[in-house]
Amino acid sequence: MSDLLLIDDDQELCELLSSWLSQEGFLVRACHDGLSARRALAETAPAAVVLDVMLPDGSGLELLKQLRNDHPDLPVLMLSARGEPLDRILGLELGADDYLAKPCDPRELTARLRAVLRRSHPVATSSQMELGDLCFSPIRGVATIDEQDITLTVSESRLLEALLKQPGEPLDKQELAQIALGRKLTLYDRSLDMHVSNLRKKIGPHPDGRPRIVALRSRGYYYSL
């Protein structure tokens, strides 16, 4: 049973989602503001977090920043009643693993949560992958460059692992989305591109200045040799 922390000020929605998710095998704790959420996280780190963008005592995006600092590999799924593209982009830029607009179908939320939880416990074929100056541990979700450890989110870790398995070979966006997000991309869905952008910023270019991750227009991405 996966321990889930649901952070949303809509108490009626929390009761509905908690009831549904409990029936689906999740152990749900609900918080309705940022302060109680921080206290709950300090007591026990959950298996995953569902976080609303708008909280009564601050922005959920600010709480996401703190989560990424304190729990970099904790799966986080963002919710927003507004469903604004800017909210989605900011959430993904700050390291959210996935994003849903409210009102959301509880069945879709359950599917997204199960996908991100599966990705947070990958079955790695080796304890470490090495290519040039980059070393990567799929199990730890940590890349090392110049003896500096770079902690990756669940989605970033899955992306890098997939690209390193086939260096120099382009991977289709839909294939990468299935690996990194556990789902297919929908029309105008830029979630994968945002995760790739975050990963690029974290690992930087090759020592000679070439990008490590190369985009092929309308096709996909590959890790350059």
- The domain ranges of the chain are 2-119, 129-223
Give phi and psi for 64, each to the nearest 5.
-60, -40
Q: What is the pLDDT of residue 83?
A: 58
Distance CA 70, CA 74 (A): 9
Q: List residues bridging with 55 in a β-sheet.
A: 58
Domain 2-119, CATH class in plain words: alpha beta
Q: What is the pLDDT of residue 164?
A: 94
Q: What is the pLDDT of residue 38?
A: 93
Q: What is the pLDDT of residue 63?
A: 93
For the chain (length 225 residues), average pLDDT per consecutive 10? 90 92 93 94 91 91 90 88 71 87 88 84 67 91 92 90 92 90 83 92 95 89 94
Q: List residues bridging with 101 in a β-sheet.
A: 80
Distance CA 91, CA 107 (A): 22
Domain 129-223, CATH class in plain words: mainly alpha
